Each structure stands twice: as structure tokens, then as C-alpha cells.
A and B are shown apart, each in its own frame.
Chain A
Amino acid sequence: MKILVVDDSEAFRKVMIELLVKVGFHEVVEARDYNEAVEVFTREKPNICFVDMILPGKSGVELTKALRDIDPKATIVAMSSIINKKMIKDSIEHGAKDFILKPTNEIALSSVLAMWSD
């Protein structure tokens, strides 16, 4: 099971990767923005993508749409440090399967992974 973490904060990516490893997911790739995420997604073909909704340049919603255009079966989980209902609705309408609040924790992350990993 390969996981992609997209967030412009290097510190957050590090914490998220540590948490993913802790809950048993060791194969993690990362990207800091839209362009890098598209490139890594195309190359690595991750099973689940955690995408921050607020990215420099193109937004997480635009990235969600782009990743779903590349692979309509892509499993994308939106992330944000605030619950903006419009943003969550937009991301789900554009193909995100779920949402987690940042900073996340082991319980929430495990539930989301249990729900969406095959």
C-alpha cells in the first residue's frame, strides 16, 4: 500500500509520514505542491493520497480534480487545519473520498485508512 502526502509544509509532511509509519504504512511518498504532486502521482501510482486543501499556486481542490482525471479510481483524502464546509463539499464533489482535520492523530488516521485501504 503506497501513500502520497501532499502538503507545502515540510514539518507537517514529516509528522504525517511518521504517523503513517506508526500505524503500519511504510511506503510513503511526498509532494509539496500541485505540479510535484501530479508528477509523483503519475510516477508512483499511490493507492491513497492525502491532499492539503490549501497549497501554494493551484489549490487542493484543483489537484483532486487533476488526480481523478489521471486516475478516476484514485482515493483522495482532503486535509485542512480548519473545517471549511464549502471547501470540503467542493473537494468531495471533485472526487475526494474523505476529509481529515490537521493536525491529525493515530485514531482518526487509522479509521480513514481502514475505511479506504483495500
Chain B
Amino acid sequence: MGLFSRKAKMKRSTGEAGLGITRKYNLLPGRSYVVEEAPPDISFDAFVNIVSTAERDGKKTVGIAVSRQHPDMIRQKYGLEQTPIYWLATRTGEDVIAPTNLGILTNTIIQFIEAHDNSIILLDGIEYLVTNNDFTKVLRAIDQMNDHISQRQAVMVVPADPRAFDSKELALLERNMERIAGKSRPA
């Protein structure tokens, strides 16, 4: 009973209002991208740009974001009004997903993909997920999401700090995702 009552509710999104600016990132439907960077600037810029602009045929993309950063901070910085944002944290709350609960995380994302045509997912905080679970479990959850992404022609963007993973883990992450080389700032 307790388990089901903690199940995150899937939110429908009507999408962000267009900003009237250029679509800067050409991410292909049905693909997932791992962006090797820290902080996740390219990933957020791509996500925000895609949900705030229309494709050439006028089609809108709706997004869902999961992040270690607090949703209020993300909304304030990136001007996201309609996009559901979940906080990866150990606190309780409606829009919070515990890092240890990979089932709820996977379900929330899969339900969103299934409920929306043309969707994009930003999964920020993979390092935090790996800290709270073992790497294989996180990879399995991402693989499960990837199956739905391929089938529903969605897009997923996963920023990953390359300093937090060994080369074997990075290779496994890139096995089913395309790699975008970003820029890691020195600590």
C-alpha cells in the first residue's frame, strides 16, 4: 500500500510557449544522447531550446525533466512554465523522486513518453543515481527507458560528468546512446 501511495503521478504537459528563436539542436527522434559535461550546460540549453521552439513543420516538443537541482531554481533560470520537473532528492514531496527508487523514476518517465507524442526527457543527476544504487541497476533502468524512447520516437538527454565514471562505465553508457562531447570545467 505504502509502495503504491509513493508512486509519482504522471503529469500531462501542454508544452512551453514558443520563444520565436532558432532550433539550435538537431537531436534525432528515437535516440538517446549522453552529454559528457559538468556542469550540465549543453544538456539544459538543448532541452530548453527544444521545448521552447517548434520544428520546421510547426510541431511542438513537450518535455519532462528530472534533476538534482531544485525545480524552482530550474524554472526561474530557464523560464520553464509548463514542463513537469522532478527533483531527485531524499526529501518527501509531490515532485520528488528518491534516488534509490529507480522503479518510480523509470515509471514516471515511461508514462510520460507513452502519453505524449514528440517528447524529450532530460535526465540530470545520473552520478547521484549511481551513488545511491549500483551502476548496473541504473544502466538497466536507462535501457528500459531507451526501449520506449525508440518505440515512441522520443528523445532523451543524459548529462554525465566523465570524471565520475571509469572508462568501462562510460563505454556501457554509450552502448545504447549517442555521445556528445561537452566541456568539463576543472574543479
Interface on A for B, CB 8 Å cutoff?
81-85, 88-89, 92, 98-101, 103-105, 107-108, 111-112, 115
What 0/1 pattern do residues 39 to 74 of B give for CB contact below 8 A with A? 001100110110010000000000000000000000
What is B's interface to A at a CB cutoff of 8 Å?
A: 17, 19-26, 41-42, 45-46, 48-49, 52, 76-79, 180, 182-183
- Residues of chain A with a CB closer than 8 A to B24's CB: 100, 107-108, 111-112
Additional pairs, 5, CB under 8 Å, beyond known A99-B19, A107-B42: A83-B19, A88-B20, A89-B20, A98-B21, A99-B21
Name the CB-closest residue of A to B17.
A85
Which chain B positions have C-beta within 8 A of A98?
21-22
Give A115 to B49 CA distance when docked, in angstroms.
15
Closest partner residue, chain B, to A85 (CB atom): B79
Judging by beta carbons under 8 Å apart, are B77 and A108 in contact? no
Q: Report Cα–Cα, A85/B20, bound state, in Å.
A: 10
Knowing A82-B77, A83-B79, the reply to whether A105 touches B183 (Cβ < 8 A) is yes
